[in-house]
Amino acid sequence: MTQTMGADYEVMLSYAERIDAMAAELEAQTAPMLAALQDGTVMSSMSQGLGPIGAPFTASYMAAMTNQCMNNMETAAGMHAHAEAIRESAEQYQGTDELHAAALEAEQTMNDDLAQGKDLLSGATEAAMPVNLKDQLDPLDPGTTQFVRDIASTRDPAGHAGIKGADLGIPAKLADGTPVMLFGDCNKPGEQGGYKGGIVAATVENTPDGVKVTGIAGWGADKLLADHALEDKHNYYPSGVITMSDGRQLLTVANVDVSGDSGEPFVPKSSHMVQIGGAEGNWQSVSGSIDVKDGHPCYSYATGQQIGDTVYVAATENNNGPVQLYEIPADKITDRSSWGQYAVGEPITGEGGGTPQMSRVGDQWVLSYMNDDALGNGVHVRISDDPGSFAGAQAQFVDIAQTGDYPSPPGAGRAYGGYVLPDSTPDDLRFGVSYFNEAEDPNGEPYGVGEWRFRPQQ
């Protein structure tokens, strides 16, 4: 049985109209997104939401989405052309079987194109985003922690930018403003653990996968510090940065006994200040800043910021706290023998509280430190509107062991450091935490610095 040519013609027109409608639907879905991409709306929204760390992802997302939207519009245009071709060819078909076969094939092709366009449009974000990046951009629940990546660790067989094992990783800036991290106890890929000495400076790049570093100076005390004379079994360690309003950054350097002969390992014999210079090293010691442990406190760690004529400093007199706040006149900051008279009230922490760091994140001030006995072994953080209010701020516990990646196997390592990294935001604090495996390996491996993220309680 066959139908009349008029019936064949109507069937083909119906198919053409359906294809036109599907093309119009794809255009209607795609056009608003394409317009938002082209007029900068999406770029502005993502930049505000993700901040500097999201810049590489924003660029890749914009490129992927723009390309997909253009492909969808081209697909829709092709569908319209197909529909028009069906209309023009309707007169040429003489038999119902041939008519239906051609029309059904055209419809299937258009259905496939439409489905692919919809799927790609809805899934473009997933396609452009690495799985670990997606996980890291998802907001954490308040009070929870997530491991991001290793920054410099013996767990990485290749080593990051020539650095294998390292510890500390204090954020700072070179004299020209280049962001760096300052590591201690570094070794190179292929080396075993142990005390390699010196302080290594590494430039910092904020990426969607977390901070990445590139070693630029160090590998021996004489490569970075101008004054590097050390007794046997002693090492220099970076132990805090004080930022002055004129742009100077004063690094506290601890001269540490690593032998254990004194009965307590890593006891600082003295400390002094170094003015951070350029990538070429040769950083000069600050005259008169040497602080020797002989009758007055030796400030093992000191971190702070100048505001007006006052420098707010959080410091410890040994490795394990407590953390004391000082309000020091700016013209007295290098006279460390006078700091004691500028102490403010009681210590901020109880027993414990080492490796403090004071930093500004957004419009908030953040004080981080490690291992306050009242809260346990991990990073502790206090958030306040100004540095003078840390004592009254509630301490929050950043449980890095919660992530199951500390370091490996869980719970086998000891954590220290806990410095706020430059890719932090108020709702997504990032910490550089040092770890070593003291239970199973004579060299303490795995050993290194990793990045953890934490969402504070409101």
63 lies in the same domain as 199: no
Cα(239)–Cα(105) distance, rounded to whole angstroms? 72
Helix (H) or strand (E) holding 65: helix 55-89
**Which residues sit opposite 277 in a β-bridge?**
none
Q: How do strand 379-384 and strand 429-437 relate by DSSP bridges?
A: unpaired
290 lies in the same domain as 197: yes
Residue 131 lies in a domain: no
Residue 207 lies in a domain: yes
90 lies in the same domain as 152: no
pLDDT for 227: 74
Low-confidence ranges of the chain (pLDDT < 50): 1-6, 121-122, 124-134, 220-221
Residue 167 lies in a domain: yes
DSSP-assigned states of every residue in 209-225: TEEEEEEEE-SSGGGTB
Structural domain for 345, as ranges: 144-455
> Which tokens hold the place of 77?
């245009």
pTM: 0.68
pLDDT for 305: 94
87 lies in the same domain as 206: no
30 lies in the same domain as 168: no
Domain count, the chain: 2
201 lies in the same domain as 293: yes
CATH number at residue 371: 2.115.10.20
Residue 119 lies in a domain: no
Q: Is the bond preceding residue 442 a cis peptide, omega within 30 degrees?
A: no
pLDDT for 117: 56
The residue out of 80, 98, 116 marking a domain boundary is: 98
pLDDT for 132: 46
Residue 122 lies in a domain: no
> Which tokens hold the place of 172?
């700072």
Residue 438 lies in a domain: yes
pLDDT for 131: 41
Q: How far from 250 is each of 232, 238, 306, 307, 381, CA to CA, in Å?
A: 26, 11, 11, 15, 23
Residue 77 lies in a domain: yes
Q: Which residue has the tokens 């078909």?
A: 93
357 lies in the same domain as 279: yes
> Which tokens hold the place of 89?
């060819």
220 lies in the same domain as 306: yes
Report the Cα–Cα distance between both ends of the chain, in Å, rounded: 76
Q: How far from 13 is each of 87, 96, 101, 107, 221, CA to CA, in Å?
A: 6, 14, 14, 12, 82
Cα(298)–Cα(366) distance, rounded to whole angstroms? 24
